[in-house]
Amino acid sequence: MTARTLDGCIKCGACVRACPVLAQEGRDAFPGPRRFTVEVPRIGGVIPSLRPALSMCTTCGRCEEVCPSRLPLPRALVQVRAIASAGTDLPDGQARMLDNVAGTGRTVVPDLPPPAIPSSGDLLFFPGCIAAGRLPEAVSAALRLLEAAGSRPFAPPGWACCGSPLEKIGATGPLEEVHARNAGLLGTGRVVTACPGCTVELRSAYGADAWHIIEHLHGLGGIPRERFDGTAPEVKVALHRPCHLARVVGPHTMDMARDLLEAAPGVQVVEHEGENDCCGGGGGVASSRPEVAEEMARRKVRSAREAGAEIILAPCPFCVVNLRRAGGMEVEDLTTFLARRLDPGQNK
Ligand code: SF4
Ligand code: SF4
């Protein structure tokens, strides 16, 4: 991959101009993707003074999106990160994450009572560590929406982290372990997730028929308007575009999310200037450089507030957790919001 990166770069600088971390932190703090993915392989390694900057990439994919050669810069950067971090001390947040994986198989030790998830049914639901550990209401909401769509969702007992966050920080040993733990649990049928990182990882690393819940519900025709509570108060919402959903799973997901939302009575989706911007929650930045992630989240919240939104909805648990760090505005997972607006008669 690095060889292809070297060959294809025409030195246009588009990736540098588009990078949100560089724009926020400045070129001295974060020199941009080209330096790591093109120049590092050329000189044969990471200069030690560049290592702190390497942990600041959120893997948002904006650089790849604008690159005229469509070079896989975030993936190449993650590979460079794995090489550079070998044998070095990890930031505290990431060391804790690896301890958790070694102890429980998951990156997060729940700080709230875990959601009750059936262990058998007819549709495999993969909860993901962040939702199960930090947003149990989003897991319960996803189960409720899937039930409202006629399924009996279940999670296989003993599921472990999908591996996405481990790959992003270059933790190759633990990554192989969780892949091995999950391999026999996924089966060959459809797997539904509520986390874009899980969707992408289950597809790419396990070859699973993984669907984000937005794609799954939309494919069934959405949630009929009559299933919602017609008396729910009117609300203006800002729909955040999670990078790993909108850019990696695909831009179709955001049209689908909008369709699902607009079926709910009283919901008005407002455009906001920073809609397409990364919130800072991905790529391990929230655990390695929380101050960078928090400032990115503050910018998003400011933009949504200025557009008149009362709440930000994110179809990604990582984004929800990071946007909440900024404070100053209600932030909710899209599944939680939709499930709360179901008709109370159907809202267990
Ligand atoms: S993936 Fe995003 S944060 Fe990382 S270098 Fe590319 S544009 Fe910058
Ligand atoms: S956008 Fe692509 S081609 Fe242009 S400088 Fe960056 S890596 Fe090179």
Query: Looking at residue 308, which CATH number applies to its domain?
Result: 3.40.50.1860
pLDDT the model gives residue 3? 44
- Please check whether residue 243 lies inside any domain of the structure: yes
Å from CA of 19 to ligand 1 middle: 5
CATH code assigned at 52: 1.10.1060.10
- As a whole number, mean pLDDT of residues 325-340 equals 95
Please give the pLDDT value at position 88: 67
What atom in ligand 1 is closest to the CA of residue 74?
1
Question: Which residue has its alpha carbon closest to ligand 1 atom 5?
Answer: 33
Higher pLDDT, 187 or 339: 339
Q: Residue 77: CB within 6 Å of ligand 2?
A: no
166 and 184 inside one domain: yes
Which range of residues forms the domain containing residue 290?
225-346
Q: What is the pLDDT of residues 279-318, one digit of tens each?
A: 999 888 888 889 999 999 999 999 999 999 999 999 999 9
Average pLDDT over residues 62-68: 94
pLDDT digits (tens, 9 = 90+) for 225-276: 888 999 999 999 999 999 999 999 999 999 999 999 999 999 999 998 888 8
Same domain, 233 and 335: yes
What's the pLDDT band for 347 if we cut at 50, 70, 90? very low
Q: Classify residue 92: in a domain, yes or no.
A: no
In 222-272, the DSSP E strands lie at 235-239, 267-270
pTM, whole model, 2 decimals?
Answer: 0.91
* Strands (E) located in the chain: 123-126, 153-154, 190-193, 209-212, 235-239, 267-270, 311-314, 330-333
Is 212 in the same domain as 229?
Answer: no
Mean pLDDT of 117-122: 94
pLDDT over 90 (residue 139): yes
In a domain, 271, yes or no: yes
Q: Is 301 among the domain residues? A: yes
For ligand 2, atom 3, the nearest C-alpha belongs to 9
Domain count, the chain: 3
pLDDT for residue 111: 77
Say how far apart CA 91 and CA 76 lie, in whole Å.
21
Report the distance separating Cα 313 and Cα 329, nearest Å: 11
Region of poorest pLDDT, from 136-140, 153-157, 288-292: 288-292
Q: Is residue 104 part of a domain?
A: no
14 lines ligand 2 (CB under 6 A): yes
161 or 50, greater pLDDT: 161
Instruction: Please list the helix, strand and coil fractions of the chain in percent, rounded to the nearest 5, in that order.
Output: 55, 10, 40
Q: Are residues 215 and 271 in the same domain?
A: no
Atom 7 of ligand 2, residue of closest alpha carbon: 9
pLDDT of 107 above 50: yes
pLDDT of residue 1: 47
Span from the CA of 43 to the centroid of ligand 2 (angstroms): 18
Does 23 have pLDDT greater than 70? yes
Q: 136 by DSSP, 3-state: which?
A: helix
Is 13 a pocket residue for ligand 2 (Cβ < 6 Å)?
Answer: yes
Domain-embedded: residue 109? no
The answer to which of 37-46, 93-102, 275-284, 319-328 has the lowest mean pLDDT is 37-46
Of the residues 219, 247, 263, the one at which a domain ends: 219
Average pLDDT over the chain reads 89
For residue 314, count CB atoms less than 10 angstroms from its CB and return exposed for 0-12, middle for 13-18, buried for 19 or more.
buried
Residue 118 pLDDT greater than 80, yes or no: yes
* Phi (first) and psi of residue 209, to 5 degrees: -85, 70
